[in-house]
């Protein structure tokens, strides 16, 4: 069981660490709202990874086949959502912001921002993560190579999925921790610049996703 858990962790961590639009979004949220908002968003990604890993590990072919068959439309909707999110980030980051309050007040205000819409932060990232059904195939290929799936028993498969969740969550906690460290050391102007840059990258990723879905 411990081996399956460890292998799941070692699979989940690098898959989460692969660069992509969601990473930019989580970094931006951490810089704008604080560590809590970024960490909750990261747990949303980890949940999505674990759900897809479960479909692969337990060999739920019916659901997998439906998702893969509809990947064009799911990818199209996901790409549009990423474009909208990126456009909103650019628009918000481009607006002038008041001077930051004293350190103590600022810490309190940013903590409040993180707590204000935790469910929205979690669910929105989870939805974006689930907008990429081919991820199931990645997990299925890795699990088959490791020889760990439901055929080896439901408990090893379950531990594998838990390991994927923990590995993915660990990466996002590391990333949001680094972004929080950076947040305390950059000026508001630099933070706005990072926000605009991340928003533009998200728009570019979204356009690419939509284009891929249309041309597929």
Reported in sequence order, the residue ranges of the chain that DSSP labels E, i.e. its strands, are none
Stronger pLDDT, 132 or 81, i.e. the higher one: 81
**DSSP track, 179-215:** HHHHHTTS-HHHHHHHHHHHHHHHHHHHHHHHHHHHH
- Residues 61-69: what's their mean pLDDT? 67
SS3 string, 58-78, reads CCCHHHHHHHHHCHHHHHHHH
**Count of beta carbons in the 10 Å neighbourhood of residue 39:** 23
Contact residues for 89 (Cβ-Cβ < 8 A; gap 6+)? 25, 28, 195, 196, 198, 199, 202
**Closest by alpha carbon to 172, among 9, 13, 8, 5?**
13
Does the model's pTM come out above 0.85? no
d(CA 13, CA 36): 20
For 132, the 3-state DSSP assignment is: coil
Q: What pLDDT is recorded for position 147? A: 62
Residue 113 scores a pLDDT above 70: no
Asked if pLDDT for residue 144 goes beyond 80, the answer is: no
Confidence at residue 176, expressed as pLDDT on a 0 to 100 scale:
96
The model's confidence at residue 132, banded by pLDDT at 50, 70 and 90, is confident
CA-based nearest residue to 21, from 213, 203, 210: 203
CA distance 16 to 121: 18
Residue 177 has pLDDT above 90, yes or no: yes
Enter the tokens of residue 70.
């509809």
Q: How far apart are the first and last CA of the chain?
A: 40
Which percentage of the chain shows pLDDT scores above 70? 81
Specify the pLDDT at position 62: 62
The pLDDT tens digits of the residues spanning 17-59 come to 988 888 888 998 898 888 999 999 999 999 999 998 888 888 7
User: Given this model, what pLDDT does residue 102 score?
Assistant: 40
pLDDT confidence band for 128 (50 / 70 / 90): confident
Q: Given a cut of 70, is residue 141 above it in pLDDT?
A: yes
How far is 136 from 67, CA to CA, in rounded Å? 9
Three-state DSSP at 98 gives: coil
Name the least confident of 6-10, 56-60, 65-69, 82-86.
65-69
């Amino acid at each position: 069981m411990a081996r399956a858990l460890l292998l799941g962790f070692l699979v989940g961590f690098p898959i989460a660490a692969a660069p992509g639009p969601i990473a930019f979004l989580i970094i931006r949220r951490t810089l704008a709202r604080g560590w809590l908002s970024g960490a909750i968003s990261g747990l949303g990604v980890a949940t999505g990874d674990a759900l897809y890993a479960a479909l692969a590990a337990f060999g739920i072919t019916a659901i997998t086949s439906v998702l893969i068959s509809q990947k064009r439309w799911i990818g199209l909707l996901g790409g549009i959502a990423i474009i909208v999110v990126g456009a909103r980030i650019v628009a918000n980051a481009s607006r002038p912001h008041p001077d930051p309050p004293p350190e103590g007040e600022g810490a309190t205000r940013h903590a409040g921002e993180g707590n204000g819409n935790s469910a929205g932060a979690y669910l929105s990232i989870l939805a974006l993560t689930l907008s990429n059904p081919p991820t199931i195939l990645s997990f299925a290929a890795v699990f088959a190579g490791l020889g760990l799936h439901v055929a080896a028993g439901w408990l090893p498969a379950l531990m594998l999925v838990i390991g994927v969740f923990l590995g993915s969550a660990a990466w996002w906690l590391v990333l949001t921790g680094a972004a929080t460290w950076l947040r305390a050391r950059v000026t508001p102007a630099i933070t706005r610049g990072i926000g605009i840059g991340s928003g533009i990258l998200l728009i570019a990723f979204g356009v690419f996703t939509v284009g891929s879905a249309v041309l597929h």
